[in-house]
Amino acid sequence: MTDKPFPAKILLTLVDSKSTGEEFIGLSATLYRQNLIFPKPRELRREKNILELIVIFRDNYSFKNWNKNIEVKEFWYTKFVKLLSEKPKTLKERDVIIEVDNVTNCGCDKSDFYILKGRSLQFIDELTCSNCFGQISYSRIPLEIQLEDWQTKHERIYSSWLESGLFEKEAYKELTNYKKGKLNLEGEKIRKQLSDYFKLPVYISYFVEEPDDNHTCLVCGQKGFDSGLKRPNKICKTCNTIFDYGDK
């Protein structure tokens, strides 16, 4: 299934045309905490008695089913009933460009392991199935596993390195400090939590400036074992890493 982030607007028709609609300001925060939308909700507009909440849903499923989410129903259903004259409507935004490649979500349930890779570009979910190479949607991951927060930090540090600016050296040091760097230690913590939750091995792919098919495990230096994949073709079961992305 090919899926993309969904720019959309949620229409909330107020019963009282004189109401400010401030009661609904926190709705986007709930949607974000439930992994239904991306961070930085766009805005809450008002046109007469209709509020327009502009968001970017993570995928088509989230777009269609956000109002069925347990937390949304628990905290917002009463306000929907009392303060709105009709049920919320969700419309896809047109003529909106999001810089993102097509995202293929995993639906095969045949993976031997997952691959965790720090995010380098906005809106890319980097938890991948080893069988179909589809992305594991964040909506499948419990909130206590703070994958999104880690990915945001990784993206910020990666961008600092990529821009070759004032913090390039510091960012590079953080990205390549595989054993003691705060960013990578947090990534290892997330990796273990994901493995425990999904009951599957999860291997982490660390940042390498120039990937090749010759380097060993970045943590312990072992040559590793055959991953069963063409790329990356090596895994280290001791350090739970996956590597060798070079061209064959």
* pLDDT at residue 154, rounded to an integer: 92
Residue 109: the pLDDT is 82
Distance between CA 117 and CA 187 in Å, rounded? Answer: 9
- Listed in order, the ranges of the chain carrying CATH 3.30.70.100 are 2-92
Low-confidence residues in the chain, pLDDT < 50? 1-2, 97, 99-101, 247-248
CA-based max dimension of the chain: 69
The identity of residue 70, as a single letter, is: I
Closest by Cα among 108, 105, 111 to 199: 111
Report pLDDT for 40: 62
pLDDT of residue 170: 93
- Residues 35 and 69: beta-carbon distance below 8 Å: no
What is the rounded distance in angstroms from the CA atom of residue 32 to the CA atom of residue 39? 6
Task: Provide the pLDDT for residue 1.
Answer: 40
What pLDDT shows up at residue 134?
86
What 212-218 contacts at long range (C-beta under 8 Å, 24+ apart), as own/partner pairs, is 212/244, 212/245, 212/246, 213/244, 213/245, 213/246, 213/247, 213/248, 214/244, 214/246, 215/243, 215/244, 216/243, 217/241, 217/243, 218/178, 218/243
* pLDDT tens digits for range 16-43: 988 888 889 889 888 887 888 876 666 7
Identify the pLDDT of residue 103: 61
CATH 3.30.70.100 fits 2-92, yes or no: yes
